[in-house]
Structure 1
Amino acid sequence: MTLLHRTFPSALISLLMAATLSACGGSDPVPAAEPSFAAVSVTLAHVNDHHSQLDAFANTELVLGGVATQVDLGGFPRVTTAFQRYANRSDVIKLHAGDAITGSLYYTLFKGEADAAMMNSVCFDAFALGNHEFDDGDAGLKKFLDFLRSGSCQTPVLAANVKPQAGTPLASGYLQPYTLKTVNGVKIAVIGIDIKGKTTNSSRPLNTTVFEDEATAAQRTIDELKAQGIRHIVLLTHQGYEADKALAAQLTDVDAIVGGDSHSLLGDFTALGLSSSGEYPTRVTNKDGKLVCVVQAWEYSKALGELNLNFNTQGEVDSCTGQASLLVGSSFKRKDDKGTFVAVDDATRLQIIQSLASVPTVRVVEPETVAALTLAGFSSQVTAKKAETIGTATEALCLVRVPGESTNRSAGTAGCETANTLARGSDAAQVVAEAFLAGSLAADVAIQNAGGVRIPVPAGTLSMNTAFTLLPFTNVLVELPMTGQQIVNVLEDAVSNHLDSAQSNGSHPYAAALRWDLDMSKAKGSRFSNVQVRNRATGVWSAIEPARTYTVATNDFIASGKDGYTTFGTVYATGNYVNNYLLYTQTFVDYVLAQGSISRPAAANYAHQKVTTVGGTVLP
């Protein structure tokens, strides 16, 4: 052995020994060891769906310490401050899950410049496209992304399933499928996924821009990253909470999903008087049977989510914890002896702040100074427009999409505490439909999709800001001749879009001079019954006549067949309609100016007269 060791190189010795063992029928080769990864902890700090809502929501009512209390909720400068908490940490990835733009006068006037400035005050590590990014088409999105890229942050814009055609506005390096972030020497991949159906049906992307199936694009990109040796995978999606949970089960190797689109508040907020749509984080399993942590952080610059992921040496999620927290100011109002909300005294204010220090669902946060100054440069112009008063609301007009939905979109608006549980659904959408009917001299009925109406309207003064925040899009009023049967088909289309096709529940219909009973537990074609039309001249209700032709007023967006309104689209495609070229927001403004004050319609005039949920519950 000594001579052999001295005479031959060690590599040759190894080869000879292996050959000898093989010839002697030695043991089988040892299988390759599973790859090992350094254990690592990562924090994902995230927001979604801020929708150009850059100012705080003043006088939002929460229950603090068991007492009804009004607070200033959110505002992007508070979001900036909340993110600054992570400034000196190397384990944090800052994420925005889409729908940054459209929804307020900041977008109407500045077309994304103000939003980009606020986002650059945070410097997100990744931003995923949402469907509303395409509301002004590919060219409008490019304009916003140019503003976003003009700063020093250079935030990666992610959309693995969006493929612009060469030569179109987004084709020159605006989008990328994923980005990599290194945390303590470990690479974390963040993949962007935008919702396919809702974007193509409910926004205005170019016909040449391809939206690939979400699961197909996600798995392809995951496999590509695995081939590079990357094991830690986060999806940054904009497709909704339920869709995120379903997607996780279809994919291998995904570890976490940070989402948007459904404006879901996750976590236990019952002590604050708010309902939520699920746990934060929501724990599901992927196709491998491994843990996936799903999160979302509500809406409108109101909250910040923090997901803490602990990875083991197999590169899998060992555990996840976290919290979505509401961002509130340090001033508070409570009711006095007369029942009027007034500012609390200093001692009470300090007591509230101290008590909230132990409440993880709320963070007391002051606006970041530089971000606030930047926003002020835009808000001075917005304020002038906002200040124009158009009328009053004598009571709150609550916002609901589908009657019986889990999250109360009107949370914090006095008078809307149980709005999502009632059969009547959205007061706001109902009043908008009434405005359409009033704005059309020819219409027999008016139909409006729930998703086109964006906010609840508190009781009190109505301003131009109210109107443009309520109805922020550039839709116009059109009139279509339709038979009674076609109208019923339109209603069935709209509900089927979200119940059967798993598309946006913003398609849910509301109407003026048209009412019905709705049973969502039944199949398409049998959900609507007792459909009636109100005579415009006499106010008398009667059963809709299937063969009779009626004139329907609606917005040009759903009239063209978007948001699942297929029957509308077939009529629109023939050219047999009248375009009033009246901005639908202006229709609402004109309605309020003519009325002076508005309120909830009489119970008999609501579109939803009786509603049965998918589970068979009859709503009150």
Structure 2
Amino acid sequence: MRLRLIPLLAASLVLAACAQHNAQPETGGAFQLAIGHINDHHSNLQPAKRTSVTVDGETHRIETGGFPRVVTQIDAIRKRHDNMLALHAGDAISGTLFYTVFEGVADAALMNQACFDAMALGNHEFDNGDAGLKTFLNALAMSDCATAVLGANVMPEVGVSPLTPKTRWDSFKPYAVYQFGDEKVGIIGLDIAVKTKQSSMPDATTEFADEYTTAAYYVDELRQLGIEKIGLLTHIQFSSDLELAQKLPAVDFIIGGDSHTWLGDYAAYGLDQDGPYPAQTMNRDGAPVCIAHAGEYTQIVGELVIDFIGDQVSHCGGQPHLLVSEEAPEVIKALLHFTAVAEDKASLLLLAEFQQQLEEMTTQSIAQVEQRMCMKRLGVATTPGCGIGRQSDAHRLVAEAFLFSAPQADFALQNGGGVRNEIAAGPLTIADVYRLLPFSNTLVTVEITGAELRTLLEQALAYALSEGGSDGAYPHGAGIRFDVDMTATSGERISNLEINQDGQWQRPDDSQTYTMVTNSFLALGSDGWKLLAEINADGRVTDTFVNYAQSFVDWARAQQRITRPESHSTQLYIPPAE
């Protein structure tokens, strides 16, 4: 039995925690550390029921993932290794009805079944502002697991944010230190700075420091404390992890998230694959750094095994576990990096309690969808049977629903990242809508000139293409149309811009003011739509207080039968040069 989270230096405010693990130190300076890890589960607590896996030309539909299997696999890794940490690399919340309804309480309850040693803050932890994150963290703390929440570069304003009523480290810490016999391991947490500030909804006074500068500062601090085995628990994307590892001294491993990166041997079976597990590079000292990500949505639990000789990594090993049902065909269970896992019984019962509360909402059909509607943030659909070659039908319908709920508006605009799923053919339920539009956004109307509209669209496209930006910034609309050339110079990518007024398409007058309906997230200037923040400050934004998912429910009920839209806001799309 191990003692968890025992303070190492009580006098040091920034020392998050030190866990004493009952393991004998290895002889001869050798030490092995195992890490069980997940990232980006986004409130996906239930398993995926029909994951397609192709073996020898035959496609199998199997059940994969789900938090009860995560709990079982984390426990199995814990039992296999004397020296083990369970880590979550952020974006635990936001993305399904479990978060929309329970605001992180369901996620925290299931995470506490796995008993993570540490979790990094991710951008989606801020989707309901600092107060929403505090609700989740309070629920996470209702356990003797004492999960250390890490965010070294997250800076809420002390005395203003509910996260920091008295000090910067009231709700989370910059790093944690864990002790295994005579060995100490320090782990620093980092969130993706620009993306969180611009594409989520932290309080206006909450800032995010540069990832490299912050990491370098705390690596130095850990070394001054005599800690030479150092890891980063990051939510900054796989490519940034590789870059950061090469710039920093003394870093031995990185457990990361945000890019939903699949590492492992999966491509041959029709699944995603972004590289081998684990990845490896060299730090600034020329020493090895082990880097591991674990996909998304509770599908994979990573098992990273790091061997040290002295304070330097001698070997990066381990494997990812794609969690498959024990009822899966034997040919699937025999595959490398596929692991048949039973669901943890206590976690199943807990999940069932939350699910029961959702049943009424889940079963209410509000409309019939005639054809499958694709969801594509940027560009044309490429999925057969889902409007292949068309712009995103799902985004277009959402924009139409915006206009339905705000008839005073001339047109609607919605960012690509605000719509999270395709729309399946068949009965549409309220739960389907909240999975489609899972965030706590409301509809707002914006008074905007024709000249400002063009600038706004160009800003959205620039952010969609920028390093550190997001394709979720791409604009989708109704009552508006335009051509897009992503190969053109910034500021010249939009052409043939028109607004539908009284049934007639007209070029907007630069000096005329129009009424736009959009979501409250964009009204803050998020996702690169910076001009909206200025317009908001100018008093030209009005909140309707209609939840954006509710607008789709109301629209769908009025339609009764939903068919593919006849047109899309993007009339012509030229993709960026490769």
TM-score normalised per structure 1: 0.81
Q: Secondary structure at the match of 1:215?
A: helix
Partner of 2:406: 440
Task: Choose which of 574, 582, 605 in structure 1 pairs with 2:568.
Answer: 605
Q: Give how far 1:110 is off.
A: 2.1
Residue 77 of structure 1: how far off its partner (Å): 0.9
1:320 aligns with 2:284: no
The answer for the alignment partner of 2:154 in structure 1 is: 162
Query: 2:456 matched to 1:490?
Result: yes
Corresponding position of 2:351: 375
Q: In structure 1, what is the Cα distance between the partners aligned to 2:558 and 2:48?
A: 28
Distance 1:558 1:369, change over 3 A: same
2:113 is paired with a residue whose SS is coil
Q: Which segment is superposed worse, 221-230 or 514-523?
A: 514-523
Query: Residue 82 of structure 1 is aligned with which of 73, 88, 102?
Result: 73
Q: C-alpha offsets along residues 194-224 of structure 1, whole Å, 9 cap, x if unaligned?
A: 1222222233333443422111111111111
- CA deviation after TM superposition for structure 1 residue 606, in Å: 4.8
Partner in structure 2 of residue 237 of structure 1? 234
* Structure-2 separation of matches of 1:460 and 1:542: 36
Are 2:277 and 1:280 equivalent residues in the alignment?
yes
1:425, distance to aligned residue in structure 2 (A): 5.3
Cα distance in 1 between the residues matched to 2:276 and 2:576: 22
Structure 1 residue 118, shift from structure 2 partner? 0.2
Matched, 1:187 2:184: yes
Is the contact between residue 44 and residue 92 of structure 1 (CA under 8 Å) also seen in structure 2? yes
Contact 1:560/1:573 (8 A) holds in 2 = no
1:520-546 CA-to-partner distances (Å, cap 9, x unmatched) read 34432122334344x2543x6555554
Shift of 1:431: 2.4
- Give aligned-pair identity as a percent: 40
> Which residue is equivalent to 1:455?
421
Question: Which amino acid in structure 2 is aligned with residue 596 of structure 1?
Answer: Q
Given candidates 190, 199, 202, the residue that maps to 2:199 is 202
- Judge conservation of contact 2:104–2:139 (CA < 8 Å) in 1: yes
**Cα distance per residue 1:229-275 (max 9 Å; x no partner):** 22222111112223323322332222222112222333342233223
Instruction: Find out whether 1:571 has 2:535 as its counterpart.
Output: yes
CA radius of gyration, larger in = 1
Equivalent residue of 2:198, what SS? helix
Q: Which residue of 2 aligns with 1:73?
A: 64
Over 3 Å counting, the alpha-carbon distance change for 1:329 and 1:480 in structure 2 is: same
Distance 1:557 1:402, change over 3 A: same
- Please give the alpha-carbon distance, in whole angstroms, between the structure 2 residues aligned to 1:51 and 1:245: 24
Question: In the alignment, is residue 98 of structure 1 matched against residue 90 of structure 2?
Answer: yes
Matches within 5 A, 1:410-421: 415=385
In the alignment, is residue 62 of structure 1 matched against residue 34 of structure 2? Answer: no
Q: Is the 8 A contact 2:523 2:541 kept in 1?
A: no
For residue 78 of structure 2, give the secondary structure of its aligned residue in structure 1: coil
Candidates 104, 107, 118, aligned match of 1:115: 107
1:430-579 correspondence runs (5 A):
430-500=396-466, 502-533=468-499, 535=500, 537-538=502-503, 541=505, 543-579=507-543
Deviates more, 1:506-515 or 1:275-284: 275-284
CA-based RMSD: 2.7
Note the residue ranges of structure 2 that are not aligned, 5 or more in a row.
Answer: 1-26
Contact 2:152-2:175 within 8 A present in 1 as well: yes
Query: Does the 8 Å contact 2:195/2:468 carry over to 1?
Result: no
The Cα offsets for residues 424-457 of structure 1, whole Å up to 9 and x where unpaired, read as 5543323212221232212232111122122233
| Matched residue, 1:178 | 175
Aligned residue in 2 for 1:583: 547
**1:220-369 alignment runs, 5 A limit:** 220-313=217-310, 315-331=311-327, 352=329, 354-369=330-345
Q: Is the 8 A contact 2:417 2:473 kept in 1?
A: yes
SS at match of 2:409: coil
Which amino acid in the other structure matches residue 536 of structure 2?
Y
**1:456 to 1:92, Cα distance in 2 relative to 1, 3 A:** farther
Cα distance, 1:614–1:316 mapped onto 2, change above 3 Å? farther
SS of 1:187 mapped into structure 2: strand
Distance 1:607 1:384, change over 3 A: same
Candidates 140, 144, 150, aligned match of 1:148:
140
> When the two structures are aligned, how many residues end up with a matched partner?
546
Match in the other structure for 1:342:
none
Tell me the secondary structure at the aligned position of residue 121 of structure 1.
helix
CA 1:517–1:582 in 2, change beyond 3 Å: closer, same or farther?
A: same
CA contact (8 A) 1:423 1:610 kept: no
Distance 1:601 1:501 in 2: 32
| Deviation (angstroms), 1:480 | 1.7
Q: CA deviation at 1:328?
A: 2.6
CA–CA distance in structure 2, aligned partners of residues 138 and 318 of structure 1: 41
Contact 1:61 1:69 in 2 (8 A): yes
Alpha-carbon separation, structure 2, partners of 1:445 and 1:197? 29
SS in 2 for 1:376: helix
The answer to whether the 8 Å contact 1:42/1:183 transfers is no
